[in-house]
Amino acid sequence: MDYWNESVECIDRQQLERLQLELLQSTLKRAYEQVPLYRTRFDEAGIKPEDVKSLSDLRHLPFTTKQDLRDTYPFGMFAVPMDDVVRIHASSGTTGKPTVVGYTASDLSMWAELMARTLCCGGVTKRDIIHVAYGYGLFTGGLGVHYGAERLGASVVPVSGGNTKRQVRLLQDFGATVLCCTPSYALHISEVASEMNVSPDDLRLRVGFFGAEPWSESMRQELESKFGIDAIDIYGLSEVLGPGVGSECLAKNGLHIWEDTVIVEIIDPETNEVLPDGCPGELVFTSIRKEACPIIRYRTRDISSITRGRCECGRTHARISRITGRTDDMIIVRGVNVFPSQIESVLLEVDGIEPHYQIVVDRKGGLDEIELLVEVSPSFNISGVRELERLGSTIRAEIQSVLGLSVRVRLVEPRTIERSSGKAQRVIDRRKL
């Protein structure tokens, strides 16, 4: 097992926690002094940075939310003068004002280091060719992975998203060994490849780093078998850094969070209390090494859990479980909490369909209804109506038994559910609540 920075990645936990406390204290001091929002929040909570004397004091600090970043649009969260900011990224702003983050030169350098560690986690070396199909631009995905790959010394193909046929041709012609994109886009690439009669054997891919949207264990199997690769789950968000916040190693047993740069907590999204390790809840991050945009107790809305035992790869940093959903993606239907990822994992167990689906929630006569659109596989034997009806009722019964939820299943023709080169839109909520 190769590390990028062994002394840090395998650091003794006591030593790590001492380092964390030191970095946390200086971060809090700077945030309090430089960012009016933090000063106001801390004052309102009656807490001063110097009151934080141990890591467990972190829980007394106020949270930061996406709304705070919107309210301080564009640069209100910056803790350094603009002279020191060398890069700006922003969210798409589809659900409101974009959230803007800035980076100093030293932030970018740390980010590249974390992404290099991430790639190393999947066994990538400077001899690899890395095809980056995350979007380049304001989105952190493309550039984030890019600079990590360069730091590692690998050859980077900065394709960005879109034009899938060209992606397949380049994968084939350049012989990329590593693919980086969203998992739903990876599936789409594999479909287009097979349409172009390009088989996994025609490609040299051996590992993929997929993130930026929640995905499931069964989707991993699907991607691994379609491409003949190891599919690695990576985690990141611009508010905390971008890709490189956390990554699985080849043990595929949780995502290593680089704790020398962030502190991770899990809280109960309802009570806001910190939960013990192992309990599922909302991920909360505090950056402890970022200069331009320190972020204190950022509520990610992502659902996960933490474990702190040493991984079989030897790394000692905490691991989070695969993101199982988002507190705000969660749909509550007839009192049942449903995450699209749960529906996805059921669908991946059923033969005769493609892992493309859409969940349409509507309210008819005061009653919530879920309609699940699922694509029939082009190879499904459809001679009789009965076979198709049986397929529909199998899906229905599986979802009923796994999620305790009755849904209406509508089988649709292959490739009729909209494909996206970014995050797939899985849920359409038509309820007027």
Contact status, residue 399 vs residue 407, Cβ threshold 8 Å: yes
> DSSP code of 64?
B
Tell me the closest approach of the beta carbon of residue 375 to another protein, in angstroms.
9
Task: Check binding of 389 to another protein (CB under 8 A).
Answer: yes
Task: Check binding of 384 to another protein (CB under 8 A).
Answer: yes
Task: Check binding of 417 to another protein (CB under 8 A).
Answer: no
Identity at 171, one-letter amino acid code: L
Task: Check binding of 390 to another protein (CB under 8 A).
Answer: no
Tell me the closest approach of the beta carbon of residue 389 to another protein, in angstroms.
7
Task: Check binding of 412 to another protein (CB under 8 A).
Answer: yes
Q: Pairing relation of β-strands 85-90 and 100-104?
A: antiparallel
Task: Check binding of 414 to another protein (CB under 8 A).
Answer: yes
User: Of residues 31, 77, 376, 403, which one binds another protein by CB under 8 A?
Assistant: 376
Tell me the closest approach of the beta carbon of residue 410 to another protein, in angstroms.
5
Contact status, residue 275 vs residue 299, Cβ threshold 8 Å: no
User: Of residues 12, 383, 432, 433, which one binds another protein by CB under 8 A?
Assistant: 383
Task: Check binding of 271 to another protein (CB under 8 A).
Answer: no
Per CB under 8 A, which region of 130-138, 222-230, 233-241, 409-417 contacts another protein? 409-417
Beta strands in 238-387, from DSSP E residues, in sequence order: 242-248, 255-257, 262-267, 281-287, 298-304, 306-307, 319-320, 325-326, 331-333, 336-338, 353-364, 367-376
Task: Check binding of 410 to another protein (CB under 8 A).
Answer: yes
Angle of helix 36-44 relative to helix 13-34, nearest 10 degrees, comes to 100
Tell me the closest approach of the beta carbon of residue 356 to another protein, in angstroms.
13
The residues, ordered by sequence, that sit 6+ positions from 428 with a Cβ below 8 Å of its Cβ are 358, 359, 360, 361
Size of the site for another protein (CB under 8 A): 20
Contact status, residue 433 vs residue 374, Cβ threshold 8 Å: no
Task: Check binding of 416 to another protein (CB under 8 A).
Answer: yes
Query: How many CB atoms lie under 10 A from the CB of residue 181?
Result: 29
Minimum CB distance to another protein smaller for 127 or for 386: 386
Tell me the closest approach of the beta carbon of residue 428 to another protein, in angstroms.
17
Q: Which residues is 282 bridged to in the sheet?
A: 267, 303
Task: Check binding of 382 to another protein (CB under 8 A).
Answer: yes
* Residue ranges in contact with another protein by CB under 8 A: 376-386, 388-389, 410-416
